[in-house]
Structures are given as structure tokens and as C-alpha cells.
Amino acid sequence: MSNDTSAPSTAPQAPLSVDQARESIAKAITPIRGWETVAIRDALGRVLAKDVIAPHNVPAHDNSAMDGYAVSSADCCGNNGTTLKVVGTAFAGNAFSGIVGSGQAVRIMTGAMVPRGADCIIPQEFTDADGDTVTLKEPIKAGANIRRAGEDLTKDAPALSAGTRVGAAELGLIASLGIAEVNVMRRLRVAFFSTGDEVASIGKPLAQGQIYDSNRYTLYGVLTRLGCDIIDMGVIPDQPDALEAAFADASASADVILTSGGVSVGEADFIKQMMNRMGQVDFWKLNIKPGRPMAFGRIGETWLFGLPGNPVAVMVTFYQFVQDALLALMGVSPLPARPTHPARCLADIRKAPKRMEFIRAIFRLENGEAVVEPTGAQGSGVLRSMSDANCFIVLPEGRLSVTAGETVDVQMFEGLI
């Protein structure tokens, strides 16, 4: 922790654009250190610390891509009506032990090893079987319908790279190699708390002027889905001593601290002041709506994000800035893309210049056309606007108000939230 107890700087800071803020965070962040070995079932959602190397080819041998007959192309290439003698059957897991000779065929099932002497598979729908003979109704070329050994993965080559976040497909891929354990990055430790004398924990009666704390439950949800080890520190009152103690405790045990509230310019908004006194503040104002007051910096070796107090602003700033930072700290590489898609807007939207806005909206297809419309009231305290939405309409700084019928860019929640 820094021993600098000087007063915070009062110099005004020009608000950063979204791209500037993202770039500032990306340049500062480096992945945490430390990894552990876990069983593959426990690797779901974790980040690989080392490459997974294929110990053998996948598939391990040439095999049939479909049910049909294993034949030699020399017998039937370019010829229709060729009749061959069926000399056996090859099953997946039970190979045909003989050799396919001239004028012969072997009945073969999907996944079965291609027998010696055969170099192509003719699908059963292109044949007429009659007892122990089969007549080919279509010509066939060498290599047709055969999955080659190593076609999926080659022995001693990386099957998955370090930095990959393990999903369902990755679990299956690791299992296909016969690997029971993998090396993953340790879990990121994140402490979080809400601030404000007006914020009450659920289960307690509200005093006059108080509101229930929703932000800690939102942050609990997003952090749990990311697979973080979380430390819920509750609600901290707007008192410098209490905030200093909370920061000291959190920075001693966590990689990241997330706060909500206390980063604007009110007399009782102490988060930025405390960050400046105990550590450093890289920025604390953004050209966005909602979420203009958001602080980023560090206390000692612990990264700190001071999020706004309004519930929607918490979610917008988390998904647009904090989530990628946490993934980068977890060692994810490359970070997931956040594409936008064009859609026709069904409503007018008023917008101020020189700021990027994230409008909660509903995207759908109408007669094959992509359309989108806002969820209604867009106040930063209207959490229902996030619950009802399935996307953000993203309006860049240079865009002015939108007229119904115009095309806008849409960022879907699926894959983001």
C-alpha cells in the first residue's frame, strides 16, 4: 500500500472517451500469477495456464465418415453399375481384420476403421445390396468419405492454447485426448462493497430516505458467472475512516476491488479521494451515459474500479470496461470480441452530443428484418430497463438523436452478460 497521505489533486480531468478508457485499462492490466492442476470436470469456466498437447492423433486412424461400403477406387472410379462381393463388416470399435481385394467390398459403419486395401467409402444410399453382393449406383473417387488420422488434432501439437477459457466444447476436446487433469490459472479474487448512508442491506427496515442495496447482488451475479473468488464486504458508510479500513482490508486479500457509489462530485463522495490518498487514480470521468463517474486505479498491488451508484450505470460500466479487465487479469487471451449488428430502430431517441450512450433495448426479427426498440424509461436507476432488454443500442459520441426508421448499431446481451 502507498504511504502517500497527501491531499488528492484538485486539477480537473477531461472525461475520457470509451475507447480511451478501454485503452488505458488494457495498457495497465497484466494477468495474475499462479496456477493449479484440476480434474477436467472442475476446469469448466477456468482459464488454461498451459497449452494442452495432443498425446496422439485425433482421430487415431483413418475412419469412415458415414455408413456404407469400403471399396477400392480402382474397382469403381468413374463406373456405374459395378457389382462387388461383400466379404465382411467393419464396426466402430471392431475393425475388419482382412484386406479388401480387387472386386470386393466391406460393409462399414460410421467411425469404423477403414480396412486395408480400401481407399474410399461409398454411402449406402448410393448402392443396391443383394445377399453377399453390392452394386454401386454412383462413381466414387479415392479418399471420398474418409476422415483421416490426425484430421482433427495432430500428435504433439497444441490442441488448446494457454489463455483459452474452458467451455463445454473444450471439455469434450480434452476428454477426447484421454487427459484427466489440466493446468488452469488460479481464480481471481475480487472484493466488492457498496457505499452510502442511504443504502440499506436487504432484510432491514428502510429508514426515511434509504433504498435497498441492489448493486452488491448484481455484482455477485456477474462475478460468480465469471468464476471469480468473491469477497462480499457489505455496505460501507460514507465515513473516511470506515472507507479507509475497508480499502485496507480488501487490498490485503484481493486482486481487485469493486465499489459502487461514491465516485461523483458530492461532498460525501469519498471513493476517489481515498483512492488518491491510498494509491493512485488513472481516470474518474467518462464521456458515456449512463456511467459518467467511474474511477479506475490501484491501491498497492490491487486494482480498483469505482463504479457509479445507480444500478443501470453499474451494469453498463461493468460490461463495457470491467469485465474485459477481469478476463485479462484471469489470463484470457485473446479477449472475446464485442461485435455490433445493424438494426432498424422503431422509435425516436434523443441524444446529447459528445458522449456515447448505451440504450437498453429489445432486438427481434420482423419478417426477416432486424429491428430494435428501447425498453422505455432509460434512467440510470431504472433497473427494470436492463431486465426487460436483450441488447444495447450503442450510439457513438459523434451521433446525434435518432429518428424512427434509421439504422443503429446493436450490441447483444447474449455472449456479453
Out of 3.90.105.10, 3.20.20.70, 3.40.190.10, 3.40.50.720, select the CATH number for domain 38-55+158-185: 3.90.105.10
Give the residue-averaged pLDDT of 253-270: 76
Model confidence, pTM:
0.85
pLDDT at 209: 78
> What does the pLDDT look like over 262-318, one tens digit per residue?
666 554 456 777 777 888 889 889 999 998 889 999 999 999 999 998 999 999 999
> What does the pLDDT look like over 109-136, one tens digit per residue?
999 999 999 999 999 999 999 999 999 9
pLDDT at 322: 97
Residue 82: pLDDT band with limits 50, 70, 90: confident
pLDDT at 80: 65
Number of neighbouring beta carbons within 10 Å of residue 151:
14
Q: What's the CATH number for 341-412? A: 2.40.340.10
Residue 205: pLDDT band with limits 50, 70, 90: confident
Q: What residues does each domain of the chain span?
A: 18-34+186-330, 38-55+158-185, 63-147, 341-412
The CA-atom distances, in angstroms, between 221 and each of 232, 249, 318 are: 12, 22, 12
Give the residue-averaged pLDDT of 37-50: 97
Q: Give the bridge partners for 133, in sequence order.
A: 85, 130
Give the residue-averaged pLDDT of 181-185: 98
Which stretch of 172-181, 221-230, 268-277, 404-413 has the lowest confidence by average pLDDT? 268-277
Name residue, grid cell 470491467.
Answer: 322
Q: Give the bridge partners for 373, in sequence order.
A: 362
Query: SS3 of 199, please?
Result: strand
Residue 2 has pLDDT above 70, yes or no: no
Mean pLDDT score of the chain, rounded to an integer? 90
Residue 3 has pLDDT above 70, yes or no: no
The CA-atom distances, in angstroms, between 114 and each of 95, 123, 129, 237 are: 8, 14, 20, 72
**Vertex 290 angle, CA 286 and 291, to 5°:** 45
pLDDT at 338: 85
pLDDT at 270: 67
Q: Tell me the C-alpha distance between 329 and 185, whole Å.
A: 10
> What does the pLDDT look like over 222-241, one tens digit per residue?
999 999 999 999 999 888 88
Q: Which fold has domain 18-34+186-330?
A: Molybdenum Cofactor Biosythetic Enzyme; Chain A (3.40.980)
Out of 3.30.360.10, 2.170.190.11, 1.10.1740.10, 2.60.40.10, select the CATH number for domain 63-147: 2.170.190.11
